[in-house]
Amino acid sequence: MPPKPLDYESLNENVKKVAYAVRGELYLRASELQKEGKKIIFTNVGNPHALGQKPLTFPRQVVALCQAPFLLDDPNVELSADAIARAKHYLSMTPGGLGAYSDSRGLPGIRKEIAEFIERRDGYPSDPELIFLTDGASKGVMQMLNSIIRNDRDGILVPVPQYPLYSATILLYGGSLVPYYLEEEANWSLDLENVKQSVATARAKGIIIRAMVIINPGNPTGQCLSESNLKEILLFCYRENLVLLADEVYQQNIYQDERPFISARKILLDMGPPISNEVQLVSFHTVSKGYWGECGQRGGYFEMTNLSLQTVDEIYKVASISLSPNVPGQIFLGLMVNPPKPSDISYLKYTTESKEILDSLRRRAHIMTDGFNSCKNVICNFTEGAMYSFPQIRLPQKAIDAANNAGKAPDVFYCLKLLEATGISTVPGSGFGQKDGVFHLRTTILPAEEDMPAIMASFKNFNDNFMDQYENYRSQSRI
Ligand code: DCS
């Protein structure tokens, strides 16, 4: 009998090739240990609510009312008048309510609210017709990569280290990932010379570079791109005829004041013609990050700049295959881009809640970086933005040998030992890409602030013992 179509041997090879470290070996082992009763600190995924972050009150009130409109007429329900008004506003946009499919691009009224937000943020008008809502930013990224990649000669420039959504999706759609390395010694900055070198190497192998991805602020590296860096990148895309995919999902997560977030779109439009009306740009955003952290709601959007209407129609057609992005997620997005105004009753509560989260994240970014830098053989750049810390772990040769003997990559070996000893569940740097012979791990900065000192002490205790063990082992074996 030949293998059946869904037997492992006959699956689509691209599906088998995909690796996704954020939910990989470490995560599986952590889940096992948790089942056995061990306390696990899940710092492998940027999933704030799972680590205790409380949802913002106002958006939850509005969505609750949208989900249960009969509460609007219930005299026993006491909610602020602006939440009620806002729920009515969104319900008026959704014929049939939240149980009905929306247009495959999302609700027109919410796309308009997003366009207004973008205009306020960037100082340039935005066209709702070029904004599509998606089930989280991931779906939008996948849809764009699907539209760009034609075959395995099509190359996508991706920063390394990178968030594995990119590597995984490029493999899934049969394209070629062209890595460009970020400079760890320069706080993970993007050096265009590295990008040019990567392009030259890839072209020599017959790859046609089609797109460049930037993640700003960076995941897992946490750096914020400067205005001049963004200009260089856009100029490069213009000269090389590349579409720029700007992953800006962490735009609210900024923990320093020197480089506030600036969108790629603002810089592009600042540059003026011909660049501003030539470079194709797709920008992504989500409700999963920032001080919202509403990962489970699956609300995202992308905005297209300088794409022809014919292409936009094709992208619409493909979005239509999935009928409709989830409608509650769309309402979260509407609320995120159009939060309570100073004159609204909920304004004070909303701003207090969001500021508390952001201030605490900033403090946690410091606690983590300082904690890692106090450890033996660990160096760590400051988390300027996003939600992660990405320390370099300088493993002694004997630890590398021990990992090889155990059939594990050295960083996987280290992270597994860390997990077993402390319950801290991280992701090995190899899941994001790193230079050969250099090892990292990624952790989120999301554990509750009051738990942070104990977590860092536990990490230091494990790490310093680990280093002593393998360094001493080496000196003993020399004797
Ligand atoms: N882009 C980047 C850079 C991300 O880090 C993530 C999620 C996404 C897009 C997709 O988010 P949504 O689909 O939820 O909008 N970050 C993952 C991570 O590294 N940890 O948690 C999830």
The tens digit of pLDDT for each residue in 442-474 reads 999 999 999 999 999 999 999 999 999 998 764
**One domain, residues 244 and 386:** no
The pLDDT of residue 305 is 98
CA of 426 to the centre of ligand 1 (A): 16
The tens digit of pLDDT for each residue in 102-144 reads 999 999 999 999 999 999 999 999 999 999 999 999 999 999 9
- Residue range of the domain that includes 14: 8-39+351-475
User: Of all helices (H) and strands (E), which one includes residue 89?
Assistant: helix 81-93
| Continuous H helices in 101-208 | 108-122, 136-148, 165-172, 192-204
CA of 89 to the centre of ligand 1 (A): 29
127 in a structural domain = yes
Walk along the chain (479 residues) and give the pLDDT tens digit of each residue.
888 999 999 999 999 888 766 677 898 999 999 999 999 999 988 999 998 999 999 999 999 999 999 999 888 888 899 999 999 999 999 989 999 999 999 999 999 999 999 999 999 999 999 999 999 999 999 999 999 999 999 999 999 999 899 999 999 999 999 999 999 999 999 999 999 999 999 999 999 999 999 999 999 999 999 999 999 999 999 999 999 999 999 999 999 999 999 999 999 999 999 999 999 999 999 999 999 999 999 999 999 999 999 999 999 999 999 999 999 999 999 999 999 999 999 999 999 999 999 999 999 999 999 999 999 999 999 999 999 999 999 999 999 999 999 999 999 999 999 999 999 999 999 989 888 899 999 999 999 999 999 999 999 999 999 999 998 764 444 43
Q: Is 136 in the pocket of ligand 1 (CB under 6 A)?
A: yes
Is 425 strand, coil or helix? strand
Q: Is 143 in the pocket of ligand 1 (CB under 6 A)?
A: no
The pLDDT of residue 1 is 85
Total number of domains constituting the chain: 2
Q: Is 288 in the pocket of ligand 1 (CB under 6 A)?
A: yes
358-376: buried (b, 16+ CB within 10 Å) or exposed (e) per residue?
eebbeebbebbbebbeebe
Q: Is 46 in the pocket of ligand 1 (CB under 6 A)?
A: yes
CA of 302 to the centre of ligand 1 (A): 14
Q: Could you give the CA distance from residue 126 to residue 116 in angstroms, rounded to a whole number?
A: 7
Chain Cα centroid distance, residue 406: 32
Q: Is 162 in the pocket of ligand 1 (CB under 6 A)?
A: no
**Which residue's CA is the closest to the ligand 1 atom numbered 17?**
46
Tell me the best of 169, 249, 427 to mutate to test the pocket of ligand 1, counting ligand atoms within 8 Å of each CB and taking the most: 249
**One domain, residues 359 and 256:** no
Q: Could you give the CA distance from residue 409 to residue 403 in angstroms, rounded to a whole number?
A: 6
296 in a structural domain = yes
CA of 325 to the centre of ligand 1 (A): 17
324 in a structural domain = yes
The CA-CA-CA angle for residues 126, 128, 130, to 5°, reads 85
116 in a structural domain = yes
Q: Is 142 in the pocket of ligand 1 (CB under 6 A)?
A: no
- CATH number, domain containing residue 212: 3.40.640.10
Rounded to two decimals, the pTM is 0.95
Among candidates 211, 298, 209, which has minimal Cα distance to 249? 298
The pLDDT of residue 99 is 96
**One domain, residues 282 and 187:** yes
The pLDDT of residue 19 is 73
The pLDDT of residue 473 is 61
The pLDDT of residue 21 is 65
**One domain, residues 293 and 169:** yes
In ligand 1, the atom with minimum distance to the C-alpha of 287 is 15
**One domain, residues 264 and 377:** no
Q: What are the backbone dihedrals phi and psi of residue 293, each rounded to the nearest 5 degrees, phi first? A: 60, 30
The pLDDT of residue 57 is 97
CA of 344 to the centre of ligand 1 (A): 31
- CATH number, domain containing residue 31: 3.90.1150.10
Tell me the best of 26, 45, 135, 163 to mutate to test the pocket of ligand 1, counting ligand atoms within 8 Å of each CB and taking the most: 163
Out of 269, 302, 337, a domain closes at 337
CB proximity list for 237: less than 8 A, separation 6 or greater: 212, 243, 244, 279
**One domain, residues 136 and 21:** no
284 in a structural domain = yes
